[in-house]
């Protein structure tokens, strides 16, 4: 179904009402939004899981589903964010917001500003700022020194091979996602990936 010529987008959710919708997934398959400068990106997948999850549900099950989806759509790259403010998650997912010079380089607005100018190379030449969990292609891993170096520098406690992707999770559980030691691992990953993180757009010429 995901690769069907007749399907342009698939939306999955647990409820029609936002209050009861603790998870959703959107997969664009060749829709106009997935075309940039005449180049078609076969799939773009976006998902959200709110926390805490309802009784009987599991974040680990959601993460397993995300990894399975990444394999099915043959993802080139991916990031999972955790934040106390859902607006920042959505801004990153939908690449919205304007540059915020006074904020950190990976502020959603600043990252969006970078991506808009180099989107056609995202997942190929460049990657996004890493999040709590990040999918990297083997070419990305090799570009920064290889798997052994990455694991030694970042020391991620959870690692999975997902097709050609290496899945790196920076804490064992989501409850630890915002702890200082988890952020320290993320900063180490940012530094390691800096040569291939989507660059700042060219400066505008002076008027």
Enumerate the domain spans of the chain: 1-56, 76-193
Q: Which residues pair with 193 in a beta bridge?
A: none
Per-residue pLDDT for 3 more than 60?
no
Between 166 and 40, name the one with better pLDDT.
Answer: 166
pLDDT at res. 42 = 57
Percent pLDDT > 70 in the chain is: 83
CA distances from 188 to 104, 110, 152 (A): 15, 20, 10
Copy the structure tokens of residue 5: 């010529």
Taking only the tens place, the pLDDT of each residue in 65-83 is 999 999 988 889 999 999 9
Taking only the tens place, the pLDDT of each residue in 183-201 is 999 999 999 999 999 998 7
Taking only the tens place, the pLDDT of each residue in 80-103 is 999 999 999 989 988 888 888 889
Mean pLDDT of 113-120: 82
Percent pLDDT > 90 in the chain is: 49
pLDDT at res. 152 = 98
Read out DSSP for 117-140?
HHGGGBTTTBBPPP-SEEEEEHHH
pLDDT at res. 34 = 47
Compute the mean pLDDT over every residue in the chain, rounded to the nearest whole number: 86
Q: What is the pTM of this model?
A: 0.86
Taking only the tens place, the pLDDT of each residue in 40-49 is 555 778 999 9
Per-residue pLDDT for 35 more than 60?
no
> Which of 25-29, 72-76, 166-170 shows the highest mean pLDDT?
166-170
Q: How many CA atoms lie within 13 A of 191 on its CB side?
A: 9
pLDDT at res. 19 = 61
Note whether 45 and 27 are within 8 A (CB).
yes
pLDDT at res. 32 = 46
């Amino acid at each position: 179904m995901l690769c069907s010529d007749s399907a342009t987008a698939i939306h999955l959710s647990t409820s029609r009402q936002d209050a009861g919708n603790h998870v959703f997934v959107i997969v664009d398959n060749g829709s106009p939004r997935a075309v940039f400068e005449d180049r078609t990106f076969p799939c773009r997948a976006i998902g959200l899981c709110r926390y805490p999850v309802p009784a009987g549900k599991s974040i680990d099950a959601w993460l397993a589903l995300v990894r399975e989806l990444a394999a099915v759509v043959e993802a080139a790259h991916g990031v999972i964010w955790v934040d106390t403010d859902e607006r920042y998650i959505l801004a990153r997912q939908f690449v919205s917001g304007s540059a915020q010079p006074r904020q950190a380089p990976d502020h959603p607005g600043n990252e969006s500003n970078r991506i808009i100018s180099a989107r056609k190379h995202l997942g190929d030449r460049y990657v996004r700022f890493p999040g709590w969990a990040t999918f990297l292609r083997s070419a990305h891993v090799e570009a920064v020194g290889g798997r052994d170096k990455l694991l030694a520098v970042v020391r991620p406690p959870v690692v999975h091979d997902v097709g050609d992707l290496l899945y790196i999770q920076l804490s064992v559980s989501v409850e630890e996602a915002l702890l200082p030691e988890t952020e320290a691992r993320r900063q180490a990953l940012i530094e390691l990936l800096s040569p291939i993180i989507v660059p700042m757009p060219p400066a505008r010429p002076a008027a």
